[in-house]
Structure 1
Amino acid sequence: MLLAVDTSTQTIGLALYDGSEVLGEMHWQTKTHHTVELAPAVDELLKRCGVKPAELKVVACALGPGSFTSLRIGLAFAKGLALSLKIPMIGVPTFDFQVASQPVKDLPLAAVLPAGRGRLAVGWYHAEDGHWQAGEEPTIMTAEDLSAQINQPTLITGEFDAEERQTLSRKWKNALLASPAQCVRHPGMLAELAWNRFKAGETDEPVSLAPIYLHVNEAIPD
């Protein structure tokens, strides 16, 4: 049994996965209440699915990029749980499971997350062997900057507000925006990617596992 935890942004996501199906999934928007809401929500999910903590075999955690504070909270919680239960951990970059639920097409794909102060964290992906493959390192830019870079049909998915969506949609011939529902990050997908790594024997050392910050001094404010 795998527990997946995503606190990359103000959206918190949890999932339980047994290798065959997602037994339960929760995601909701919080403000600055990650510390208060996370542990009770995990307890509720376990109880609803009839799973005891001792049945967990691995804990997966989103590594970011994302909010400096919320990422630390989620990772600290996951580490504490893994160490207390003496089970392995698996860290997954947030963009990787965000794009994994998108249909694979022979077009570039930009995955975005809020980066505070009117900016976006942007990761680029391309189709390879039927999967999305990460390209260059993620960067921080404004929606206007991203729009200026789009000179060919490009898929865009992720977490952005109405104003940013409007800015990008002005490039309607080339900026192919996923719908709001398609942009939701699914913790079940985080769980599935992590489970595949777990079955392949690829786990991370909890003590050394660290979040992905694009610019520590410019991390997303909570």
Structure 2
Amino acid sequence: MLNHIKQSEYAGYLNLELSIDTSTSFSSIALSNKGKVIEELTWDAKRNHSVELSPAIWSIMDQAKLKPSNLKSVFIAKGPGGFSSLRVGMSFAKAMSLTLRIPLVSIGTLDIEINPYVPDKMPVFAMIKASAKSVYSINNLDGGNSVKVMNVDEIINKTTSQTIFCGEAMSVIGTELVSKLGNLAIVKEYNPPTRKASILAALAYEKFMEFGGEDIDKLEPVYISGAQYESATRQMKSKVKNQ
């Protein structure tokens, strides 16, 4: 059900935005007006982002009786995230921005994860799985400005007071954190999806109002390192070398 706004009224809004988050297997998209969501869809795309993203976007636009020409900006989650999944979302967002000549604004995936729990009086750590033994993490203690790679032991050693832990990595390490930290660990949402495109929309609109759109040529996703990423990097370097 659409959020208390008649479908026929959507096209009359002057600041309609499309938000896209394909950082991990769990994808989320939203239509919003000035950062306030009017339609949202979240699903487990597994590894089918390239097949499922476009139909999902056209579906929610059809439900709202909107056309691409109604959009005034595009918002994208830039990672950290999976190589293939992030690339699909970023490529689609850039194509929409270039084709429609509308601004593109990016937000870090961990910023989306941590946002529902800040500001808070206690420390908050948002995490996404980086490898079998490590996570990408940001926290509210340093303003969320520094993405770090940490393993579980490092997290435990740094936790000296009651702390909120959130993000998709909780499905992997949440139980262990509680087991080893006891009451010091407050784990939010063990099971994904843990991100919503509505949060992306709100953060990106705020950023857009302050800084405007971004340079598409300079905007790149932040990939989670891994075999797939390293293989693709070697192939790209080889192509450049042979040109």
TM range (shorter): 0.7 to 0.9
Secondary structure of 1:172 counterpart: helix
Cα deviations across residues 185-211 of structure 1 (Å, max 9, x unaligned)?
111010111112223352101222111
Secondary structure of 2:204 counterpart: helix
- Higher relative CO (Cα under 8 Å, sequence separation at least 6) belongs to 1
Superposition misfits of 4+ residues, deviation over 3 angstroms:
179-183, 213-221
Distance in 1 separating the partners of 2:158 and 2:28: 31
Cα deviations across residues 117-160 of structure 1 (Å, max 9, x unaligned)?
24311112239xxxxx314x212233343223212211111002
Compared CA separation, residues 56 and 196, structure 1 to 2 (3 A): same
* Residues 113 and 158, structure 1, Cα contact 8 Å, conserved in 2: yes
Compared CA separation, residues 182 and 9, structure 1 to 2 (3 A): closer
Distance in 1 separating the partners of 2:225 and 2:115: 25
* Aligned twin of 1:194: 204
Distance in 1 separating the partners of 2:36 and 2:92: 24
Secondary structure of 2:23 counterpart: coil
* Aligned twin of 1:13: 28
Secondary structure of 1:126 counterpart: helix
Q: Size of the alignment, in residue pairs?
A: 215
Q: 2:56 pairs with 41, 46, 53, which one? A: 41
Identity %: 27
* Residues 106 and 126, structure 1, Cα contact 8 Å, conserved in 2: no
* Aligned twin of 1:104: 119
* Aligned twin of 2:164: 155
Distance in 2 separating the partners of 1:183 and 1:55: 29
1:124 aligns with 2:139: yes
- Give the aligned residue type for 2:207: R
Between Structure 1 and Structure 2, which shows a larger proportion of helix residues? 2
State how 1:134-145 maps to structure 2 within 5 Å.
Answer: 134-135=144-145, 137-145=146-154
Distance in 2 separating the partners of 1:14 and 1:106: 31
Structure 1: unaligned runs, 5 residues or longer: 128-132
* Aligned twin of 1:93: 108
Point out the structure with max Rg over C-alpha.
Answer: 2
- Give the aligned residue type for 1:66: G
TM-score, normalised to structure 1, is: 0.87
TM-score, normalised to structure 2, is: 0.80
1:30 aligns with 2:40: no
* Residues 3 and 58, structure 1, Cα contact 8 Å, conserved in 2: yes
Deviation at 1:36, TM superposition (A): 0.5
* Residues 112 and 156, structure 1, Cα contact 8 Å, conserved in 2: yes
* Residues 125 and 139, structure 2, Cα contact 8 Å, conserved in 1: yes
Cα deviations across residues 86-135 of structure 1 (Å, max 9, x unaligned)?
111001111112211225211211100122324311112239xxxxx314
Compared CA separation, residues 31 and 199, structure 1 to 2 (3 A): same
